[in-house]
């Protein structure tokens, strides 16, 4: 029990430190690293062979994913984006029809754009699963441990993927180099990502 409390408190202070680091990033630097990572993604073998891809719509302190989303459609892949249920840790990955559709999506109370809860859309796991999931996060370490925002959406979703599809989707985190930590505190519910992409990776 004491160990769990220690991990939870270590996560809390690391989150605060990372949010401060991210706030210090200029808009130009954010875009520079985002563009550089998009190029890394385009040449990545897992991305090239994936047909069904899930990607997050970025918040202001995350790698900008717009360039990657446009490429997913250019390459004829199927694109899924998260739809979070704000009152639980449940998230679905729902199909996006086109990059243009993003502009008209409503914003949640967290200021994240996503399709309305009443809108019936194709959910990835009920129509064949996912090949690749781009995972957001606040911090990562060199062992691919991830520090999320504390709600458990991705950890829960990745466990659902394992139950509903035969081949585990490849998980690729996108991070600013400022988000790379010496060590991310983890507990037994945390799911490690397959790979963290950042400028020096």
- Provide the annotated binding site for ATP: 11-15, 146-154
In sequence order, what DSSP letters do the residues of 74-103 get, joined into one string?
A: HTT-EEEEEEE-TTSS-EEEEE---GGGGG
Answer for the pair 142, 180: CB distance below 8 angstroms, yes or no: yes
Q: Parallel, antiparallel, or unpaired for β 195-197 and 139-141?
A: unpaired
What region, left, alpha or beta, does residue 107 occupy, with left being phi > 0 and alpha being psi -120 to 50 degrees? beta
The annotation places the binding site for substrate at 57, 62
The token pair that represents 35 in the structure block: 């563009």
CA angle 14, 30, 42 (to 5 degrees): 105
Helix (H, G, I), strand (E, B) or coil at 154: helix
Answer for the pair 80, 54: CB distance below 8 angstroms, yes or no: yes
The annotation places the binding site at 11-15, 57, 62, 146-154
Q: Is the dihedral of CA 155, 161, 164, 165 positive or negative?
A: negative
Rounded-to-integer distance, Cα 64 and Cα 176, Å: 10
């Amino acid at each position: 029990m004491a160990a769990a409390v220690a991990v939870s408190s270590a996560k809390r202070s690391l989150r605060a430190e990372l949010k401060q680091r991210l706030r210090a990033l200029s808009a130009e630097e954010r875009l520079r690293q985002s563009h550089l990572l998009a190029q890394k993604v385009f040449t990545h073998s897992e991305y090239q062979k994936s047909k069904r891809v899930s990607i997050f719509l970025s918040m202001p302190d995350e790698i900008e994913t717009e360039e990657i989303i446009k490429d997913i459609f250019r390459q004829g892949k199927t694109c899924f984006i998260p739809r979070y249920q704000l009152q639980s840790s449940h998230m679905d990955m729902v199909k996006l029809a086109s990059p243009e559709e993003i502009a008209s999506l409503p914003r949640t109370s967290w200021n994240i754009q996503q399709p309305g809860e009443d809108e019936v859309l194709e959910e990835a796991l009920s129509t064949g699963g996912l090949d690749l999931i781009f995972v957001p996060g606040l911090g990562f370490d060199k062992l691919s441990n991830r520090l999320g925002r504390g709600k458990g959406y991705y950890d829960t979703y990745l466990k659902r993927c394992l139950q509903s599809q035969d081949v585990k989707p490849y998980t690729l985190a996108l991070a600013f180099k400022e988000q790379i930590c010496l060590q991310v505190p983890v507990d037994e519910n945390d799911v490690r990502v397959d790979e963290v992409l950042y400028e020096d990776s």
